[in-house]
Each structure stands twice: as structure tokens, then as C-alpha cells.
Structure 1
């Protein structure tokens, strides 16, 4: 059974335990989330001007859309305002910034009717984030920038919470992916040929849960939760923000969601910094969760390109 909690008043420790058990939390817009959304929207509108960003796909070839959107993603990540806004979002929802570590936020654009489904507009099939070497204690945060519809949100597939899926994670090395797959995303426009995990078997996607929350709402779920990008047929590009957190205290005691089918090498923990001061994840904790090889030329921590 999966429970969806709306504006729950449970404390953050209890919330994490429920997330690790497969439940989902949804919160209404609040000043901290709206400030982050407004800033992201400002960058998007500036980048696509004079076009309406949600309708730009109908006014330009796909390679021009990629040319505009690709640099917006690192610009959002690196902007000094983004980190402060992100910390405010996490703190406003009860997280202790001294023990909560955050990774960088991602700016996503999912175009309508298969205009762009690769590279910077990759439409994720059903997956768990843990297949990409994420810790079982990872919590995902997802916020819509534009108006959602059932045809443009994401879907959860809770029937797979305890059901393993053949996914290719045993062939995935996070450090190799950092040095090639993530760095080269903008090169893929018509097809996404990056080597990464994904279902290697037919999936039963129904029954599924689709949550349609307002702009500035936030959805929290475990990194082990099976979820997918809903094929967008809304007629408008959907923009959203997602990022991840881990509680260092949970890493120290091994708390987290169950691992039913993740066999990837490496760990994404080096991507997380402490919310209070930006300190890196302690080496001893990283070592506890690290695995596999570190190939020559591989990148232990992904460094998004700094916009000119």
C-alpha cells in the first residue's frame, strides 16, 4: 500500500521513515518554493524571449530549442541565488541543514508530442534513481514551474516497490557516466544513445499514481520509488525543478529504502554538500557506500559546465 500525504504535519524524521517505506508527500506552494520557481521562470523567460517558453517548440526547429535550453540548465545550477533559494525550500519543510546534504538542482523541460525526447529533454522511462548509484537514503524533491496536467506530470508505479526489474544497473559505473553521459547530454537530439540503466523487460505501468499539484507545490519521494515521465500530450512544454537530499544521520546508521534491484558501481554521495555551510560529504561515509572501479579518466564528481 502506498499512502500519499498532503501538507502533513509529521516531523522530518518520521517523514523520512515513511518515504523509505514507499509513501509520497505533497506540499502546497509556500513562499520558499515560489521564490525558487519564480527565479527559475525568470531565467527561462529571459532565455526564450521573445517567445513564450511553453509554446516555443512550435516556433523553432528542435536544434534551436536545444541551443537555447541547454545553457539555461547550468546557468540555473551555478547562479549564486539558486543555492540560497534551495536551502530555504529545504529548511521551510523541516530539514535540519546541519545534517541534511543537498545535490545540485536540475532544470527540466519536457516538450509536448515527442518534439524532443532525448538529451536535455530526455523523457525518462520507468526507473528508480538508485539505479544511477544513488544511496537508498536519497529523498527526491520535484517542483513544477509551469501548470501541470495529468498529461504532463510524472507517474509513480508503486506495484514495483518490492518487485525487482531487470535494469542494466550491473553494467553502470557512475564515474564513467559523469565523464561522458551527463557531460554530452546536449549532443543527443533525435535519439539518446547514452549508456544508462533502464527497464530491460516489459513493464506493467498501471495502476499508476499521477499527482497534479499547483505551480510551486513540491512532491517528495524515495529515490528507490519507481517513477517515469508521463509522455507529454498537453500541447505545452512542461518545465520543472528536481533535486535530492540525504540525511547524514541516516547514512551513518544505514537507514534507507529497501534495495530490490540496484547493482550499480560508484556512488553519487560526493555530489551532496551540507545545507548549512556547503561542506562536502565526509570521506568515511562516502567510502562506506562506494563500490566498483574508478576507471582512468572517470569523474568522481560531476561538474556542470560553467556558462560563459
Structure 2
């Protein structure tokens, strides 16, 4: 059973334990998460000029829209303002900044009516982040930039949290993906030919759980959750922010969700930096996780 905890007062250790067991948390906008969403809206508005970003897709050739996103998204990802606000969000939500590591925030889009569903605005099929070399102690944080509705958010498929799904993760290695596929996203406009881990058996998408936070609200879930992009029928492009965290004690202790079906190699641990001072993840941990993933494959 999956339970959605709303504005729970549990501490971060308890929250992570529940997340690793398949539960989901949602928090109202904090001062810092509200500022991050507002900052994203500033960059988005600047990029789209006088157009309404949520409906601009109906007035722009898809190639022009994809080109705009190819410039906007890296600007957001690498902006120093994001590195200032993310640790503050985590502090406000009870994380220990000396023990919590985060990766860069990503600005995501989900366009309506199948306008752009590949490459730079990829519509994710059902997947676990753990199929993409994420550690099993990864926690995902998702923040809407504008108001969202059930028709343009994400869906969780909790019946699969502890149930294996035959998938293509055995062909995925994170280092190879970074070398050969990640930077080509903007070129995939009419279709996406990159081999990404996906179910290789029929997956039943019902029942599913959809959570609709306010702009700046924070949805928190395990990277082991099977989740997907809801086919957007809202008539508006959805803009959202997501980032990921790991707790160094969980990384060292190999504490996290159970691996039920991931067979990928490599690790994303080198993407994480410490909230307190942006120090990188210790290299020996990344090497240990790479060796363990290779032994599993």
C-alpha cells in the first residue's frame, strides 16, 4: 500500500525510511521552494518573450520550441542561484546539510497534445530511476513551476514498487550514456531513437497515484518508484523542476529501497555534491558502487 503524507512532521531519517518502503510525501511551498519556482518563471518568461509559456506551443513550430528549450534548460540547470536555493529548500524540510548531497536541478517540460514528447521534452514511459544507474537510496524532489492539474503531472504505479518488471536496464551504463547520448537530446524532435531502459513486458498503469502540488510545492518519492509522465491533455505545457538527493550515511551503509529488477551498470553518485559546502561525493564510494553494479550485471 502506498500512502501520501501531506506536510508530515516526521524527521528526515523517518521520512527516508518510509520513502524506501514506497511511501510518498508532499509538502506545501516553503519560502525557498517558492523562490526557486519564481526564479524559474523569470527565466522561462525571458526565454519566451511576450508569449504565454504554457500555450506558446500552439503558436510556434515544434523545431523552434525545441531550440528555445535547448537554450533555456541548461541556463537554469547551471545558474548559481539554483545552488543557493536548493540547500535552503532541503534545510527548510528538515535535511542535515552536512550529510545530504544533491545533484543539479533540472527544468522539465511536458507539452500538450503530443506536440513534443521526445528529446529535450521527453515524455517518460514507466520507469524507475534505479534503471538509470541511480543508487537505491536516491530521493527524488519534484516542484511545479506553474499550476498543474491531474492531466499534466506524473503518475506513480505503486503496485510495482516491490514487484519486478522485465526491463532493458541491463543495456544501460551511465558513463556511456553521458558520453554518447545525453548531449544529443535537443536533436530528437520528431522522435527519439536513444536506447533508454523501459519495460519489456506489458505494464498495467492502473491503479495509479497522481499528486497535484501547488506551484512551489514539493513532491518527494523514492527513485525506486515506478513512475511515468501522464499523457498531457490539459491544453497547457507543464513546467516543473526536479532534483535528487542522497544521505551519505545511507550511501555508506547501503541503506535504501530494495532492488527488485535493476541490472544497469555505472553510478550517478559523482553527480552529487554536499549541501553544506558543495564538496563532491567521495570518489571511493562511487568506485565501490560501480564495482557492485558490475558484479550484479
Question: For the Cα contact (< 8 Å) 1:144–1:217, is it kept in 2?
Answer: yes
Aligned residue in 2 for 1:82: 82
Q: Secondary structure at the match of 1:201?
A: coil
Q: Secondary structure at the match of 2:151?
A: coil
Per-residue deviation, residues 149-193 of structure 1 (Å, max 9, x unmatched): 110010000000111111110111111101122111001001111
Separation in 2 of the partners of 1:257 and 1:248? 15
* TM-score of the superposed pair, with normalisation by structure 2: 0.97
**Structure 1 residue 90, shift from structure 2 partner:** 1.0
Q: Secondary structure at the match of 1:244?
A: strand
Separation in 1 of the partners of 2:90 and 2:30? 12
Separation in 2 of the partners of 1:27 and 1:291? 36
Aligned residue in 1 for 2:189: 189
Separation in 1 of the partners of 2:205 and 2:188? 26
**Structure 1 residue 256, shift from structure 2 partner:** 0.2
- 1:213 equivalent to 2:213? Answer yes
Separation in 2 of the partners of 1:267 and 1:291? 10
Instruction: Single out whichever of 235-244 and 165-174 deviates more from structure 2.
Output: 165-174
Aligned residue in 2 for 1:24: 24
Aligned residue in 1 for 2:178: 178
Separation in 2 of the partners of 1:239 and 1:49? 16
**Structure 1 residue 293, shift from structure 2 partner:** 10
Q: Secondary structure at the match of 2:163?
A: coil
Alignment RMSD (CA, Å): 1.2
Question: For the Cα contact (< 8 Å) 1:112–1:236, is it kept in 2?
Answer: yes
Separation in 1 of the partners of 2:54 and 2:198? 28
Q: Secondary structure at the match of 1:5?
A: strand
Aligned residue in 2 for 1:53: 53
Instruction: Single out whichever of 135-144 and 166-175 deviates more from structure 2.
Output: 166-175
Aligned residue in 2 for 1:228: 228
- 1:143 equivalent to 2:147? Answer no
Question: For the Cα contact (< 8 Å) 2:166–2:201, is it kept in 1?
Answer: yes
Aligned residue in 1 for 2:126: 126
Separation in 2 of the partners of 1:19 and 1:247? 13
Instruction: Write the mapping of 1:235-246 to structure 2, written as runs, cut at 5 A.
Output: 235-246=235-246
Name stretches of at least 5 consecutive residues in structure 1 with no aligned partner.
295-308
**Structure 1 residue 130, shift from structure 2 partner:** 0.4
**Structure 1 residue 290, shift from structure 2 partner:** 0.8
Q: Secondary structure at the match of 1:151?
A: helix
**Structure 1 residue 145, shift from structure 2 partner:** 0.5
Question: For the Cα contact (< 8 Å) 1:266–1:292, is it kept in 2?
Answer: no
More helix by share: 2
Name stretches of at least 5 consecutive residues in structure 2 with no aligned partner.
none
Separation in 2 of the partners of 1:103 and 1:85? 13
- 1:265 equivalent to 2:265? Answer yes
Aligned residue in 1 for 2:106: 106
Q: Secondary structure at the match of 2:150?
A: coil
Question: For the Cα contact (< 8 Å) 2:7–2:26, is it kept in 1?
Answer: yes
Q: Secondary structure at the match of 2:18?
A: helix
Any runs of at least 4 consecutive aligned residues in structure 1 with deviations exceeding 6 A, and if so which? Answer: none
Separation in 2 of the partners of 1:279 and 1:74? 21
